[in-house]
Amino acid sequence: MKPIQKYIPGLLLTAVLAVISNSISSLLPHGIISGSVIALLLGMLMNPVFSKYSLLSAGVRFSAKGILRLAIILMGLTLSFTQVIQVGKFSLLVMCFTLFTAFGGGYLLGRLLKVNWKLSGLISAGTGICGGSAVAAIAPVIKAQDRDVAYAISATFIFDVLMVILFPLAGSALGMTDMGFGLWAGTAVNDTSSVVAAGYAFSDAAGAYSVIVKLTRTLSIIPAVLAFSYIHSRANQREGGASKVSISGIFPYFILLFLAMVAVKSTGLVPEAVGQGIGQGSKFLMVMALGGIGLKTNFKELSHSGFKPMVLGFSVSALVVLVSLLIQVILGQV
């Protein structure tokens, strides 16, 4: 089989899986479970059957790595630096506290529960930044195993499902304003689809604000990827006995391209329709990539991690929810 042709069967499989997953997601209220999560779970269910066919392996591997990075790069055209200005310094203050809670709390609880640092870091990123997208962006730079990626996304997804139901009820009980609730949902709920579902369940105004906050929160992928690249490189250097870390060696090229796309979007030269179209394409590619990761992940291997990572995911998510609300209370916004 020619070099390019060997990728086609696996790519077609992940593309079909993405279409099916998005279709299932669209049938759910507010798309409460994103296509990415559904593709990951369906892929894992299909692994025992399709892993037997070597014809599919090259394309599935490419989806899990190459397509994943392309999706992240294109995602940059859905964001802009002007969003940071729009949400205001108050929103950024709350985000700083929630990000510190996610990564600081995740590190300490991960050490306490004896969860390996890569899985702990992925769970923290998924909780603090943007669910599956953040996990997928960081996983390649720390060379995380597919089962760690699957576990991290699963841990944050289960908590999100609960939050979509409980957040609007809690917001009403607390008498929160539309802006206050939008900020709470945008900084504390993980996956974008779950933020949309929770925000608009409260009110249209809260939903719109929560989406802006969530998209701005996504920009923290950039420093997070760089930080984890450095941590991973340092860990490798210690194991190899070397003492120097090369910045050029740890800087992931795809995050540079992601940043370039954000800069292009920030100029305002990209027509809104074009940006939306590319954004939809990026989301589809992300679903394909996570479907590929699922197809490479076996449930038996996933079970070896035990319940500790799930406990870690729930604990960190709960801390972020409480800290986001607490900061608003202290600043008199609730």
pLDDT tens across the length of the chain (334 residues): 557 788 999 999 999 999 999 999 888 876 677 788 888 889 988 988 888 888 898 999 999 888 988 888 888 887 777 766 766 667 888 888 999 999 999 999 999 998 888 999 999 998 888 777 788 888 888 888 888 888 888 777 778 778 877 888 898 888 888 888 989 998 888 877 778 778 888 887 888 788 788 878 888 888 888 888 888 887 777 766 444 544 455 556 777 788 888 888 888 888 888 888 988 898 899 899 889 988 987 766 666 656 788 889 889 989 999 999 999 888 776 6
For helices 272-295 and 132-142, what crossing angle results, to 10°? 60
Q: Which residues contact 38 (CB under 8 A, 6 or more apart)?
A: 21, 24, 25
pLDDT at 245: 46
pLDDT at 243: 44
pLDDT at 288: 94
Q: Tokens standing for 235? A: 């860990």
Q: How far is CA 120 from the centre of its chain?
A: 14
Q: Tokens standing for 100? A: 């510190």
* C-alpha span between 259 and 255 (Å, rounded): 6
* C-alpha span between 109 and 114 (Å, rounded): 8
Q: Tokens standing for 255? A: 């995050």
Q: How far is CA 5 from the centre of its chain?
A: 31
Residue appearing with tokens 């996304």: 153
Alpha-helical regions (H) of the chain: 8-27, 35-50, 54-62, 68-75, 82-113, 117-125, 132-142, 146-173, 178-188, 192-202, 204-218, 221-240, 247-250, 253-266, 272-295, 299-303, 308-330
* C-alpha span between 329 and 318 (Å, rounded): 17
First CA to last CA distance, the chain: 63
Cα 317 to Cα 34, 63, 73, 78, 179: the distances in Å are 18, 29, 27, 25, 21
pLDDT at 259: 80
Cα 33 to Cα 41, 72, 154, 169, 226: the distances in Å are 11, 20, 11, 19, 29
Q: Tokens standing for 117? A: 């640092």
Q: Tokens standing for 327? A: 């900061």
Residue appearing with tokens 């409260």: 202
pLDDT at 12: 95
Residue 225 DSSP code = H
Q: Are 121 and 232 within 8 A, CB to CB? A: no
Q: Among 299, 297, 295, which Cα is nearest to 11's?
A: 295
Q: What is the pTM of this model?
A: 0.74
